[in-house]
Structure 1
Amino acid sequence: MNGIVSLLGKILTNILTALYEPFGFSLLLSFLAMFFYLYAYEPEEAGKGWKSAIVTWYQKFKGSVFFRKLFFLAFVISMILFKTLLNRNLWLNPLSDVMGGWGIWETVNGEQKLTTECIENVIMMVPFSAVVMRTFGEKIGNSWKKILWYSGKIAFIFSISIEMLQLLMRLGTFQLSDIFYNTVGGVLGGLMYCAVMKVRKRL
């Protein structure tokens, strides 16, 4: 019982820390990212000054559901990038632990120590794939098989991209276990999206 409480406490602490630390930065980054979106797709207000740009941004946020969905997706992505890339120390050898950790226990200097990395990797991708499905759900369709397939595939591609960037930039280590658990989290996020949509239809 004490082991379960310790595990849950460690997971909760790490999740709250991961949410608290990058919140302001991710909010600002998402805000700026949506300026790029407006400039790319609705450039009629471009070049008229900051005041006009901010007013256009606010009006778009207020009037467009899709714009709000994209903003929230950019926020979730920036939170993940902060956790996986932007706030990492340089590693001398990113290939030092390719297989990674597959369980909740790891051996350090001959001692068994509790680790929640695998569980956190699953949890991290659940909101990502759920938000992606919510943003582009109309294009994907209502079939739960399609939703699960796309959510898993998108999480897999996103996870590999992060791992490759970690490898190339030496920020963290390249681990196959991270890719696996992130993909599982992506599928669970798609499953959560299916469940929420089913409940909304009944209501």
Structure 2
Amino acid sequence: MELLGKIITNILTALYEPFGFSLLLSFMTMFFYLYAYEPGEAGKGWKSALVTWYERFKERVFFRKLFLLVFVTSMILFRTLLNRNLWLNPLSNVLDGWGIWKTVNGEQVLTTEGIENVIMMVPFTGVLMWTFEEKTGNGWRKILWHSGKTALIFSVSIETLQLLLRLGTFQLSDIFYNTVGGVIGGLMYYGIRKVRKRL
């Protein structure tokens, strides 16, 4: 029960803290998307831009999917990079973080980092596969391959940036657990897709 309570508390805290920031970032990113792909509507003032944004959000499924993907990605980036303290030695725990117990000042302390790393990547790859479903294909092997590969690349990128920017520590366990979470996200997407087709 203690482990479950700690996981739920950490997840709710992780969702609560960056929620407003991620929503605003997603909103502004989609403005950039509109400017890049529909420049005819650019430069006509804020009122016109807001109306165009609202219309695209209401009319286009892909626009809504992309908005959700940017939101989930920014939540992850806030948790892993944007809201971290500087570390003097980011390579101090490269092989740490594999279990649910760690030793702090000679005492065993419960940690949920590994489980949280798995859970964090599940919605990311699920939403990614859903957003670009035409490109990922229908077969479960292809979906799992794409979701695992994407989670691995994304995780390695985050860990490398943590190393270079000294934000947190570089850990191989994070890469492993994030990749596992990515594969689970792809598997869940495949399962939901199969159920929807049958219904």
Tell me how far apart the structure 1 counterparts of residues 95 and 55 of structure 2 sit (CA, whole Å).
48
The answer to whether residue 110 in structure 2 is matched with residue 114 in structure 1 is yes
Counterpart position of 2:138: 142
**Two-structure CA RMSD over aligned residues (Å):** 0.6
Counterpart position of 2:86: 90
Q: Which amino acid aligns with 1:178?
A: D
User: Offset of 1:139 from its aligned partner?
Assistant: 1.1
TM-score, scaled to structure 2 = 0.99
Does the 8 Å CA contact 1:100/1:178 hold for their aligned counterparts?
Answer: no
Counterpart position of 2:53: 57
TM-score, scaled to structure 1 = 0.97
Q: 2:156 aligns with which of 152, 156, 160?
A: 160
Query: Residues 55-91 of structure 1: CA distance to partner in whole angstroms, max 9, x if unpaired?
Result: 1100000000000000000000000011001110111
Counterpart position of 2:62: 66
Partner SS, residue 35 of structure 1: helix
Counterpart position of 1:36: 32
Does the 8 Å CA contact 1:130/1:192 hold for their aligned counterparts?
Answer: yes
User: Offset of 1:174 from its aligned partner?
Assistant: 0.7
Partner SS, residue 98 of structure 1: coil
Tell me how far apart the structure 1 counterparts of residues 96 and 155 of structure 2 sit (CA, whole Å).
14
Q: What is the identity percentage for the equivalent residue pairs of Structure 1 and Structure 2? A: 80
Tell me how far apart the structure 2 counterparts of residues 94 and 39 of structure 1 sit (CA, whole Å).
38
User: Offset of 1:15 from its aligned partner?
Assistant: 0.2
Query: Residues 98-125 of structure 1: CA distance to partner in whole angstroms, max 9, x if unpaired?
Result: 1121010111222211100000000000
Tell me how far apart the structure 2 counterparts of residues 68 and 100 of structure 1 sit (CA, whole Å).
39
The answer to whether residue 95 in structure 2 is matched with residue 99 in structure 1 is yes
Counterpart position of 1:126: 122
Tell me how far apart the structure 2 counterparts of residues 36 and 97 of structure 1 sit (CA, whole Å).
38
Tell me how far apart the structure 1 counterparts of residues 118 and 184 of structure 2 sit (CA, whole Å).
8
Counterpart position of 2:189: 193
Tell me how far apart the structure 1 counterparts of residues 160 and 47 of structure 2 sit (CA, whole Å).
39
Q: What is the count of residue pairs matched by the alignment? A: 199
The answer to whether residue 109 in structure 2 is matched with residue 151 in structure 1 is no
The answer to whether residue 15 in structure 2 is matched with residue 19 in structure 1 is yes
Q: Which amino acid aligns with 1:125?
A: M
Tell me how far apart the structure 2 counterparts of residues 107 and 100 of structure 1 sit (CA, whole Å).
11
Following TM superposition, the consecutive aligned residue runs of length 4 or more in structure 1 with deviations greater than 6 angstroms are: none
Tell me how far apart the structure 1 counterparts of residues 105 and 43 of structure 2 sit (CA, whole Å).
60
Unaligned runs of 5+ in 2: none
User: Offset of 1:31 from its aligned partner?
Assistant: 0.2
